Amino acid sequence: MTRGHPPVVAIDEAKRKAAAQGFTLIAVETDQPLPFDFVINDRGCISLVRIRRLRYPWYEVPDIERSCMQEIAELRSITITEEIFRELWARGPDRHWHRYLVLPGSIEVLDDGDDEDKKNGEVPPPPPPF
């Protein structure tokens, strides 16, 4: 499991955002740590959602694969049916949310139509070279 404390404030904020977008939140109560933070139902599609706060405003798939490697691996470790999805929601220092569908061999951007950067035509600076 990921080290450190879960981003409780970001998880609560993400739950509020999910409810505001019309998703139904499904309560999961357990004493065991889980590799996801909450479950949503979007018009009959169930998704396990993991929240990650990022320090840098780079949201391209390769950047997310690199910076969220452990969370992605933990989501992929869950044995589920094809009807259930895995999502990673990332929030950076700009406080905007970015959603990603975690597939067995790839990551896809989920466009929820609520990205203020896209609406304003703003693009974050490129990541530093590694």
pTM of the full structure? 0.81
Residue 91 lies in a domain: yes
Residues 6 and 37: beta-carbon distance below 8 Å:
yes
Domain holding 39, by residue range, is: 8-120
In angstroms, the CA 44 to CA 25 distance is 12
Residue 114 lies in a domain: yes
Q: For every one of its 130 residues, what pLDDT tens digit does the chain have, with 9 covering 90 and above?
A: 555 677 899 999 999 999 999 999 998 888 888 999 999 999 999 999 999 999 988 889 999 999 999 999 999 999 999 999 999 999 989 889 999 999 999 999 997 555 444 444 454 444 444 3
Residue 126 lies in a domain: no
Residue 74 lies in a domain: yes
Q: How many domains does the chain have?
A: 1
Read off the CATH number of the domain in which 109 is found.
3.40.1350.10
In angstroms, the CA 39 to CA 45 distance is 10
Reported as half-sphere exposure (CB side, CA atoms, 13 A), residue 66 has a value of 11
Given this model, what pLDDT does residue 121 score?
45
In angstroms, the CA 24 to CA 26 distance is 6
Residue 128 lies in a domain: no
Residue 1 lies in a domain: no
